[in-house]
Amino acid sequence: MLEPAINWKEVIDSLKKGVVVIDTGGIIRHVNPAMMGLTGYGADELLGNSCAIFECSCCNSRQSRGGRWCTPFSPGKSTKPVFCKINCKSGFPLEVVRQASLLYDAKSVTLGAVETFVPATIRMLPSFSI
């Protein structure tokens, strides 16, 4: 049986969580509509730019790591959900639960990460799981 071709961008775009795909330099390579809705930024403002645009409170260690990776998502570190504050385009902070999964090539070289962002208030709903 032939399996249908799956377009990963369509899958990511259908998710209700905010999703950002970044490369190892922290450059945003894809962002889904839910993330644009959370932050108020358009794709044209995010794609090709640094994820530092969100001024995430979890990224305080970025400078000490040469600007490449946030400590919670560094290779060899845990990718458990963390509470963070990100700045929206409006300048207002948004509390989120952030989680990342690192992306690897066939030789286990890190290519980037897929990060999800969920408003922290949604986390309190009984039917929602991270």
| pLDDT at residue 63 is higher than 60 | no
For residues 94 and 114, give the distance between their C-alpha atoms in angstroms, rounded to a whole number: 19
Closest CA to 70 of 13, 20, 120, 6: 20
For residues 120 and 34, give the distance between their C-alpha atoms in angstroms, rounded to a whole number: 15
* Structural domains of the chain ordered from first start: 16-124 (3.30.450.20)
User: What is the band of 47 on the pLDDT scale with cuts at 50, 70, 90?
Assistant: very high
- Adjacent-strand bridge partners of 46: none
Q: Give the model confidence (pLDDT) of 83-129 as tens digits.
A: 889 999 999 999 999 888 888 899 988 888 899 999 987 555 555 55
